[in-house]
């Protein structure tokens, strides 16, 4: 498998313990080169694992979704940049947070991605928050804000990727969760796409969690996702 295909797949290590994550990484071996560490693993040696994965030549995405006052976001991002990881998320709801993250990143090589609208939310969830816009329009608006503020990219579903690509630039990263093989169980995700469709729509990276981590054979599942990416 070509490295350019392999590096598009980010496996979300949404498991409860360091040992579970380590077993999974060992099992997947060279099939997977990019891992996402989120809130669940953060509190059980997730940062130690992040450092370890970096020393083993893997790429690491810290999905910590910061949202706070500017001063706190800036300093937290600056601190995260020192870890030498590759991607970090913030919530991209407002310009103050976006700008604070850009300042915190400074000249480091850390890529900051703005979460636009969680892929588990739909129209009704936004209405409940008093937002009259639909997910598609809100994602497009927030992606343009992130692009203008100098972020490196966004997290968005495959449904919005094409609109984001056309309203930002070719260099702006689109990282897409909510990825399922045709007929795969969606779980709590609402705005799902197949790997093939997400890549064709302009996604640079795909985030896949449970369809690989909870599969009977995670390595075979990872290969099935890579085959779909290659087919696009
Ligand atoms: O198991 P599944 O493939 O649904 O996991 C998707 C991963 O992507 C989870 O770790 C989730 O936190 C993350 N994510 C998401 N939607 C976003 C941002 C991140 O599903 N908008």
Which atom of ligand 1 is found nearest the CA of 179? Answer: 3
Ligand 1, atom 15, lies closest to the CA of 177
Q: Give the angle 44-82-74 at the CA atoms, nearest 5°.
A: 95
- Other beta carbons within 10 angstroms of residue 203's beta carbon come to 29
Q: What is the pTM of this model?
A: 0.95
In the predicted structure, residue 1 carries a pLDDT above the cut 80? no
**121: which 2 tokens?**
């939310």
Question: CA 168, CA 30: separation in Å to the nearest integer?
Answer: 33
Q: What is the pLDDT of residues 37-84, one digit of tens each?
A: 999 999 999 999 999 999 999 999 999 999 999 999 999 999 999 999
Q: What is the pLDDT of residues 79-115, one digit of tens each?
A: 999 999 999 999 999 999 999 999 999 999 999 999 9
Banded pLDDT at 189 (limits 50, 70, 90):
confident
- Residues carrying an active site annotation: 65
- Give, for ligand 1, the residue of 177, 179, 185 to mutate: max count of ligand atoms closer than 8 Å to Cβ: 177
DSSP-assigned letters across all residues of 72-92: HHHHHHHHHHTTT-SEEEEE-
Q: Give the angle 109-111-117 at the CA atoms, nearest 5°.
A: 170
Judge if the beta carbon of residue 65 lies within 6 A of ligand 1: no
Average pLDDT, the chain: 96
Domain extent listing, the chain: 3-231
Q: Give the residue-averaged pLDDT of 159-175.
A: 96
How many Å lie between the centroid of ligand 1 and the Cα of residue 209?
7
The CATH superfamily of 3-231 is Aldolase class I (3.20.20.70)
Judge if the beta carbon of residue 115 lies within 6 A of ligand 1: yes
DSSP-assigned letters across all residues of 154-216: EE--HHHHHHHHHHS-TTSEEEE--B--TT---TT-SS-B-HHHHHHTT-SEEEE-HHHHTSS
For tokens 């509190």, what's the residue? Answer: 43
Please say whether the beta carbons of 207 and 36 come within 8 A: yes
DSSP 131: -
Question: CA 192, CA 198: separation in Å to the nearest integer?
Answer: 9
Q: Give the residue-averaged pLDDT of 157-183.
A: 95
Name which of 81, 25, 88, 27 is nearest 58 in CA terms: 25
Banded pLDDT at 18 (limits 50, 70, 90):
very high
């Amino acid at each position: 498998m070509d490295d350019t295909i392999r590096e598009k797949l980010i496996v979300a290590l949404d498991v409860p313990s360091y040992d579970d994550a380590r077993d999974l990484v060992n099992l997947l071996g060279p099939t997977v080169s990019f891992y996402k560490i989120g809130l669940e693993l953060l509190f059980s040696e997730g940062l130690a694992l992040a450092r370890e994965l970096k020393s083993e030549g893997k790429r690491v995405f810290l999905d910590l979704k910061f949202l706070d006052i500017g001063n706190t976001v800036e300093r937290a991002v600056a601190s995260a940049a020192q870890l030498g990881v590759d991607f970090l998320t913030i919530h991209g709801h407002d310009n103050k947070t976006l700008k604070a993250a850009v300042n915190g990143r400074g000249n480091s090589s850390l890529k900051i991605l703005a979460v636009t609208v969680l892929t588990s939310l739909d129209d009704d969830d936004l209405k409940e928050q008093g937002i009259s816009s639909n997910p598609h329009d809100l994602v497009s608006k927030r992606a343009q804000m992130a692009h203008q503020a100098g972020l490196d990219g966004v997290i968005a579903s495959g449904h919005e990727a094409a609109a984001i690509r056309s309203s930002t630039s070719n260099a702006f990263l689109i990282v897409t969760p909510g990825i399922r093989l045709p007929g795969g169980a969606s779980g709590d995700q609402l705005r799902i796409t197949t790997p093939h469709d997400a890549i064709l729509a302009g996604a640079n990276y795909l985030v896949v969690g449970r369809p690989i981590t909870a599969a009977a054979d995670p390595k075979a599942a990872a290969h099935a996702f890579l085959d779909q990416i290659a087919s696009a």
